[in-house]
Amino acid sequence: MVEQHLPPVIAIDGPSASGKGTVAQLVARELGFHYLDSGALYRLVALAALEAGINLEEESRISDIALNLNVKFNEGVWLNQKEVTAAIRDEKISAAASRVAALPRVRQALLARQQAFRRPPGLVADGRDMGSVVFPDAVLKIFLTATPEARAERRYKQLMEKGMSANMDALLQDIRDRDARDSARAVAPLQKCAEAVCLDTTALTVEAAVAEVVARYRQALRAP
């Protein structure tokens, strides 16, 4: 149960390219809630570490970066007063973020920053551990998934629309590798909470997925 003085949270977790970011943003817009893209924080840490020439295995130095991250979300994403909205979506940064996210001290360093996004009237948060670790008292927990093939196809279309080169086989292998890495990490692994609703978007439109989440949220509010 959510304490009365805390704004409600909808936690949407799921594997890479499952569509959770798009769905979460649209749900937030429909409800007038704030939105947290937790993955962007790990991407920013990875980008900052690579730009500083830090090895991605140096947990202490990378956790220091996470603690002191100078970032703003204001009509885009800004790191150290430089816009990096597109840069953090690069596949190289995506892969680096998955490695950085496996470091326990980095996850701990970002926990309070993520929780600070919880402001009235409410928050929609997407990631890998929003319902299990960051917002365990979320009023609604959704686990959004799709087949690896469907997710690879979506990622391929996204990259092509941005004018970036992509290889379907490589994308599919990368998604499978990241699923295995995210699920096997020791701290906050990718997993479906027992109380989370599983929503498979393989054959769903974005609009249908958004409608399902909004309907379940309104149903949760009516529950005793």
Q: What is the DSSP string of 28-46?
A: HHHHT-EEEEHHHHHHHHH
Alpha helices in the chain (DSSP H): 20-31, 38-51, 59-67, 91-100, 104-115, 148-161, 168-184, 206-222
CB 187 within 8 A of CB 5: no
The three-class DSSP label of residue 216 is: helix
- What's the whole-number mean pLDDT along residues 165-180? 89
Q: How far apart are CA 56 and CA 100, in angstroms?
A: 6
Q: What is the pLDDT of residue 214?
A: 98
95-146 pLDDT, tens per residue?
899 899 989 999 999 999 999 999 999 999 999 899 999 999 999 999 999 9
Higher confidence at residue 75 or residue 15?
Answer: 15
- CATH placement of domain 9-218: 3.40.50.300
Higher confidence at residue 12 or residue 179?
Answer: 12
Higher confidence at residue 223 or residue 197?
Answer: 197
In the DSSP assignment, the letter for residue 132 is: I
* Every domain of the chain and the residues it spans: 9-218
Band (4; pLDDT cuts 50, 70, 90): low
Q: How far apart are CA 73 and CA 83, in angstroms?
A: 10
Q: What is the pLDDT of residue 1?
A: 45
Q: How far apart are CA 133 and CA 144, in angstroms?
A: 17
173-214 pLDDT, tens per residue?
989 988 888 787 777 778 788 899 999 999 999 999 999 999
